Amino acid sequence: MPDVFIQGTGTDPAVSAAAAVRHIHDRLRGRLASLADHEPGIAEGFCAGELRRHLAAADEALYAPAAGAPETRLLVRALRAAAAEIDRRIGALGTAADPAAAARTLAALLSVHFTVEETVLLPALAELPGADLGLMTADLRTLLDGGRLDRPAEIDVREVPRGQRHPRIFARFSRLAPGESFALVNNHDPKHLRREFEAAHPDAFSWEYEESGPDLWRVRIGRTA
């Protein structure tokens, strides 16, 4: 039985996931602002370590799932360009003529970047076909805690509850590099899933039947180069 919740309220998984991301952002914003004002030398170490790890984790957990969808492709490009500029400024902190001023400028850029993620990216992710913002947030936490995301060569969804199948499959697809693929095993032809892929990732995925029933279906799904 699927979980029951009221959309747009605290019971909505997308709302709670967005709140969790904002909490992470608020902690990073507050920490950098505090260090920039009082301890610019320590701010440099914080940015080169924890902040850079966060930027990499956000790219893998949040940007990658949206990078191939037409609704969010340009947004992800803009966010990645902004993240690259933030990373460049982190690298320049050690040679800045006024480290405190450079750290404050970086804190301001970071705050704008996080605001765009919270107010534009997260709502867009919540609307993507097959996307699960709660799962993406859990992935972000896993990466921030030093873990790695699972990349199984095969996903067997025959025993997975129906409401959890497509988000799990799309999450696995988001972790594919161009040219990589995985096998999907199901007990019926996943043609509805294929239509979701066509809507979310047109011309960006491959779909090859390796077995076609009647009791078992096996499809190889890949990310095109």
Pairing outcome for strands 205-212 and 181-186: unpaired
- pLDDT value for 71: 82
- pLDDT value for 38: 77
Q: Has residue 115 got a pLDDT over 70? A: yes
pLDDT band at 54 (very low <50, low <70, confident <90, very high): very high
Q: What's the mean pLDDT in 18-42?
A: 88
Alpha-carbon torsion, ordered 163, 12, 147, 178, to 10 deg: 60
Measured over the CA atoms of residue 127, residue 130, residue 134 and residue 135, the dihedral's sign is negative
Q: Has residue 2 got a pLDDT over 50? A: no
Written in H, E and C, the secondary structure of the chain is CCCCCCCCCCCCHHHHHHHHHHHHHHHHHHHHHHHHHHCHHHHHHHHHHHHHHHHHHHHHHHHHHHHCCCCCHHHHHHHHHHHHHHHHHHHHHHHCCCHHHHHHHHHHHHHHHHHHHHHHHHHHHHHCCCCCHHHHHHHHHHHHCCCCCCCCCEEECCCCCHHHHHHHHHHHHHCCCCCCEEEEEECCCCHHHHHHHHHHCCCCEEEEEEEECCCCEEEEEEECC
Q: Has residue 5 got a pLDDT over 60? A: no
Q: Which amino acid is at 89?
A: R
Structural tokens at position 189: 């032809």
Structural tokens at position 157: 């969804």
Angle, helix 191-200 to helix 162-174, in steps of 10 degrees: 40
- pLDDT value for 9: 52
pLDDT band at 1 (very low <50, low <70, confident <90, very high): very low
Q: What's the mean pLDDT in 157-183?
A: 87
- Contact call for residues 197 and 221 (beta carbons, < 8 A): yes
- pLDDT value for 12: 66
Give the domain ranges of the chain.
13-144, 154-223
Q: Which fold, 154-223?
A: Translation Initiation Factor IF3 (3.30.110)
Q: Which of 40-49, 116-125, 126-135, 195-204 has the highest mean pLDDT?
A: 116-125
